[in-house]
Amino acid sequence: MGSRQLESFVRERCRSGTLTVTEACHLFDRLLATRDPAPTIYPFNHLFTTLVRMNNLTNHYPTIFSLFNQLAQTKQTSPDVYTYNILINCCMRVDRIRLAFVLLGQALKVGPGAKPGVFNPLLKGLCKDDRICEAAVIVLEKMPKLGCAPDLFSYSTLMNGLCKIGQIGKAEELLDYMVSKGLQPDVVTYTTLIDGLYKQGLLDKATQMLQCMISKGLEPNVVTYNALMDALCKQGEIGKAEELLCHMASKGLEPDIVTYTTLIDGLCKKGLIDKAMKMLQHMVYKGHEPDVVTYNTFMDALCKEGEPEKAEELLHHMISGSVQPNVVSYSTLIDGFCKMDKFEKAKKLLREMVSKGILPNIVIYNNFMNALRKKGR
């Protein structure tokens, strides 16, 4: 098999969804041994991307870096911006931030140099970990100093981090600064700010930002509508949120699972359990299977209505549907049974969650202690 044929074969295997770690390593070795002509970087990137997207990344990520080191040591095929992007993203996913900085240094010294695509996964990881100051220093100081102009993704990522910690004013300043540098915000940028403003209760300002976005010819996407719907539900404006769902449909936008879960949560908090159940049925009819967040929302509502038994039935339905409960699922149920003085049931659920490898958190222990204290035990 020639070099180009092998590249094509690797691409198809990566797209198949059936590639294993062992086969990926075998294909990598074949690519590395190919000569005249040497393979391009693209099949290697396909393999790295597929490996990073596989389940149980924490178990096989050392293999990914072993393969990368082999590639970096060869002279025939050099890692490019996308290679470093994949690897740094992998580091952030497995909480190896020091290794991410090592890779960044390697990219700057012997790799493709200072490019936004190399910095961006690092920025995303830092903001996810609330290390916003570090991300800001990279965007506003280090990247420009290295002759690398931050791109729209760089700024939007930092804006999202600032909004996440409630620094809306700083996020707005960053928007102005970005525009002064010749970059025009897109729907993602505006939606990030709109969501941040809504979450801070600055509804008028958020609406103005939405109107500004539309005036620039940018149509709101599903994420934008989800932000608005979340704000309406938190204000108890369920009717308006439902109207917004219809408005989305009139615009040809398909609601996603976040849209439905937001509405279901709003309905449940209003005590409209039956209406929320109908919304769930509509969601499934539209091809969106409920996830653990959707189920937890219902279980919480049922427990608050004093019906933990029905909530437990939902837990069993969830498990039978191949959706795995998490610590929030069990915490909600245990609290519900404790409040009904059904301690044996709560203890049984505690044992069940531990048997599934889900460790109880402080909330669960506090619920037990508070309930027992009230009963004088």
Average pLDDT over residues 28-46: 91
The reply to whether 375 falls in a domain is yes
Centre a 10 Å sphere on the Cβ of residue 115 and count the other Cβ atoms it contains. 21
Query: What is the percent of the chain where pLDDT is above 70?
Result: 98
Q: What is the 3-state secondary structure (H, E, C) of 340-353?
A: CCCHHHHHHHHHHH
Chain-centroid distance of CA 312 in Å reads 28
pLDDT value of residue 375: 64
B/e letters for 337-356, b = 16+ CB within 10 Å, e = fewer, are bbbbebbebbeebbeebeee
Letter for the amino acid at 223?
Answer: V
Question: Domain limits at 349?
Answer: 291-377
pLDDT value of residue 102: 95
Q: Dihedral sign, CA of 83, 89, 93, 95?
A: positive
pLDDT value of residue 37: 85
Residue 37, preceding bond cis, omega within 30 degrees? yes
- Radius of gyration for the alpha carbons in the chain, expressed in angstroms and rounded: 25
The reply to whether 298 falls in a domain is yes
The reply to whether 337 falls in a domain is yes
| pLDDT tens digits, 107-149 | 999 889 999 999 999 999 999 999 999 999 999 999 999 999 9
What span, in angstroms and rounded, lies between the C-alpha atoms of 266 and 203? Answer: 18
> Total structural domains in the chain?
1
On whether the CB atoms of residues 334 and 364 are closer than 8 A, the answer is yes
pLDDT value of residue 329: 92
- Rounded mean pLDDT of the chain? 90
Does the pLDDT value for residue 248 go beyond 90? no
In order of 41, 79, 111, 121, 350, the CA distances from 72 in angstroms are: 11, 7, 9, 20, 49
Q: Is the entire prediction scored with pTM above 0.85? A: no
The reply to whether 297 falls in a domain is yes
* Structure token digits, residue 203: 């509804």
Predicted confidence band at 376 (pLDDT cuts at 50, 70, 90)? Answer: low
The reply to whether 89 falls in a domain is no
Lookup result for tokens 């180009």: 4
* Structure token digits, residue 87: 């690897």
What span, in angstroms and rounded, lies between the C-alpha atoms of 114 and 164? Answer: 27
Does the pLDDT value for residue 54 go beyond 80? yes
What span, in angstroms and rounded, lies between the C-alpha atoms of 164 and 196? Answer: 7
**DSSP, residue by residue, 299-314:** HHHHHHTT-HHHHHHH
What span, in angstroms and rounded, lies between the C-alpha atoms of 155 and 136? Answer: 9
The reply to whether 343 falls in a domain is yes
Centre a 10 Å sphere on the Cβ of residue 298 and count the other Cβ atoms it contains. 24
On whether the CB atoms of residues 193 and 179 are closer than 8 A, the answer is no
- Give burial (CB, 10 Å; 0-12/13-18/19+) of 267: buried
What span, in angstroms and rounded, lies between the C-alpha atoms of 159 and 196? Answer: 9
pLDDT value of residue 21: 94
DSSP 182: T
pLDDT value of residue 38: 86
